[in-house]
Amino acid sequence: MINDNLWYKDAAFYQISVRAFKDSNSDGYGDLQGIKEKLDYLQTLGVDCLWLMPIYPSPLRDDGYDIADYRNIDPMYGTLDDFTSLINSAHARGIRIIMDLVLNHTSDEHPWFKASRSDKNSSFRDYYVWSETDQKYNGTRIIFVDTEKSNWTWDDKTEQYYWHRFYASQPDLNFDNPKVQEEMINIARFWLDLGVDGFRADAVPYLFEREGTNCENLPETHAYLKKLRAFMEANYPGRILLCEANQAPEDVRPYFGDGDEFHMGFHFPIMPRIYMALKKERADDMIEILRRTPPIPENCQWCTFLRNHDELTLEMVTPQERQWMWEQYAPEPRMRINLGIRRRLAPLLDNDQRKVELANSLLFTLPGSPIIYYGDEIGMGDNIELPDRNGVRTPMQWDDSPNGGFTAGAPCTELVKGELSYENINAASQLADKDSLLQSISRMINVRKEHHAFGSGSMEWVESTNPSLAVYKREYNGETLLIINNLTGKPQAAALPLEHQTEYVDLLSNAEVRIKTSLNLEPFAYLWLRQKI
Ligand code: NOJ
């Protein structure tokens, strides 16, 4: 079991906010034991790898992306023993687990920062980036534009500024300090020794700062990340590094190096273009961005997603497109945050199961390994009353018992209210209903697994006479798949080129399909066809 080192190329991933997933001890907070109790569910769903959001001790000013101790687990989530026990149970079912590794910054409550700010002569002073002036690196953009006015914050005690790319409570580590570089590799080692299958490396473009640049994607950053990869390759082959770099495809490409940097990288720009395609009822934007995406080495893979725990980021679109997306998908100002939209998948798509399935069809059949955000497989709602990005981090809706079966205690946060609350949308009722969203998603994941063409195959757009269809061919090792998505809510007909007018098996229904001169499609229909040989 678990020995194919390229496993991530065919895998379906599942992202879990541990705090919001399942509470096993009734304290109102989701925990590791809770995830263990839900492994049956995850196995039925068909996912191959879980990404656990940060579980380290943290003051939670950025939901755990502000780490106060890298070698521990916050007691609310459990213990290190619970962690290894979860990993062992998951592995026994063929499910892997990766976790967040936050390299760029710590919490201001981390002992390194406390020491660093206590005295200019502290041996930890150089663990962070200090300056006499706040005018250094002023070509650097601000990421949290709604809350932060500068990347520098003044420290009264030592009378200097410290550098931070995110909240002021998240000082950036100084990667020019070899000790910092070494500390982070040792932290990675600590978790790899506990059996974790890899890391989703947070915010990697920002590790180094250099005057006269925008302080993103610097050569020094790539050089360090290659060191981290070499360390993993030498000691833990088969464990992966997944890159979080919210950048244009040509800027993410170098993070794969020559197959010697990251195994995987999120494809940020394709995501908003899937939503554009559904609204415009045309595939053009998806086609354009995939054409602009450089090829990646054979041992690398894109990671694609529809939603995650952050805002639906619109950093990778033009200002005009951003405005359009806001108007279309976030008409109320409170639905917006920074340069994005703080809503979940189902509400974005009008809670229309057909549209949610179609979006997932695109996700699962375009190049890359898909990642599902917990709850989106049942069409869970959001709670936009909650501040920051918390509205999309509400408790998983397991059943229609109190608190949606998430906790027997008092939940740590508000749940979703209204039409998409647990009384109406929950995993138990969808498991019992063969026509539910959950069953469709699970079917797509399980079918996808059986065909390497999805994870490793070539990709070619197919010209049809109808621009409202997204049609493409995926091919691998003699197997040809033809994927057809109707991007509209109306029946559509299309003629396909002669070479595609042949016999197929519909992978999702097992029906035989013969494409003749013209093809008719139901509203929002998606067909995954395997060409008969
Ligand atoms: C990216 C994470 O996804 C986000 O939630 C976090 O706020 C920033 N990195 C800072 O760590």
With a cut of 80, say whether residue 143 has pLDDT above it.
yes
Nearest-5° Cα angle at 349, 343 to 352: 130
Which one of 63, 209, 244, 377 is the catalytic residue? 244
Where residue 73 falls among pLDDT bands split at 50, 70, 90? Answer: very high
Over range 66-76, report the average pLDDT.
Answer: 98
The pLDDT value given to residue 517: 86
With a cut of 80, say whether residue 3 has pLDDT above it.
no
User: Per-residue pLDDT tens for 171-182?
Assistant: 999 999 999 999
User: Per-residue pLDDT tens for 346-362?
Assistant: 999 999 999 999 999 99
Residue with the nearest Cα to atom 2 of ligand 1?
Answer: 202
244 belongs to the catalytic site:
yes
Instruction: Using the mean position of ligand 1's atoms as its centre, give its distance from the Cα of residue 166 in Å.
Output: 8
Please give the model's pTM, rounded to 2 decimal places: 0.98
User: Per-residue pLDDT tens for 32-55?
Assistant: 999 999 999 999 999 999 999 999
Distances in whole angstroms, Cα of residue 326 to Cα of each of 268, 282, 320, 321: 17, 18, 10, 9
Over range 259-288, report the average pLDDT.
Answer: 98
Instruction: Using the mean position of ligand 1's atoms as its centre, give its distance from the Cα of residue 65 in Å.
Output: 6
Q: What average pLDDT is seen over the chain?
A: 97
The pLDDT value given to residue 331: 97
Q: What end-to-end distance do the CA atoms of the chain give, in Å?
A: 32
The pLDDT value given to residue 2: 44
202 belongs to the catalytic site:
yes
Ligand 1 atom with the smallest distance to the CA of 244 is 1
Within 211-352, residue ranges assigned H as helices are 219-235, 249-252, 270-280, 284-292, 319-329, 345-348
Residue with the nearest Cα to atom 5 of ligand 1?
Answer: 310
Where residue 367 falls among pLDDT bands split at 50, 70, 90? Answer: very high
Instruction: Using the mean position of ligand 1's atoms as its centre, give its distance from the Cα of residue 172 in Å.
Output: 13
The pLDDT value given to residue 285: 97
Over range 475-499, report the average pLDDT.
Answer: 96
Over range 476-499, report the average pLDDT.
Answer: 96
Instruction: Using the mean position of ligand 1's atoms as its centre, give its distance from the Cα of residue 427 in Å.
Output: 28
With a cut of 90, say whether residue 432 has pLDDT above it.
yes
Ligand 1 atom with the smallest distance to the CA of 62 is 7
- How much of the chain exceeds pLDDT 90, in percent? 98
Which one of 108, 202, 311, 376 is the catalytic residue? 202
Q: Are 217 and 177 in contact (CB under 8 A)?
A: no
With a cut of 80, say whether residue 1 has pLDDT above it.
no
Q: 68: Cβ–Cβ under 8 A, 6 or more apart, which residues?
A: 56, 57, 58, 59, 106, 107, 109, 110, 111
H or E element in which residue 313 lies: strand 312-313
Instruction: Using the mean position of ligand 1's atoms as its centre, give its distance from the Cα of residue 206 in Å.
Output: 12
Compute the CA torsion angle 187, 190, 194, 198 (nearest 10 deg): 40
The pLDDT value given to residue 518: 87
Over range 365-378, report the average pLDDT.
Answer: 98
Residue with the nearest Cα to atom 6 of ligand 1?
Answer: 65
Over range 147-158, report the average pLDDT.
Answer: 98
With a cut of 90, say whether residue 524 has pLDDT above it.
yes
Amino acid at 332: E
Ligand 1, residues at Cβ distance < 6 Å: 62, 65, 102, 166, 202-203, 244, 309-310
- How much of the chain exceeds pLDDT 70, in percent? 99
Largest Cα–Cα distance of the chain, in whole Å? Answer: 78
Over range 396-416, report the average pLDDT.
Answer: 98
Give the residue, out of 16, 58, 65, with the most ligand 1 atoms within 8 A of its beta carbon, to mutate for a pocket test. Answer: 65
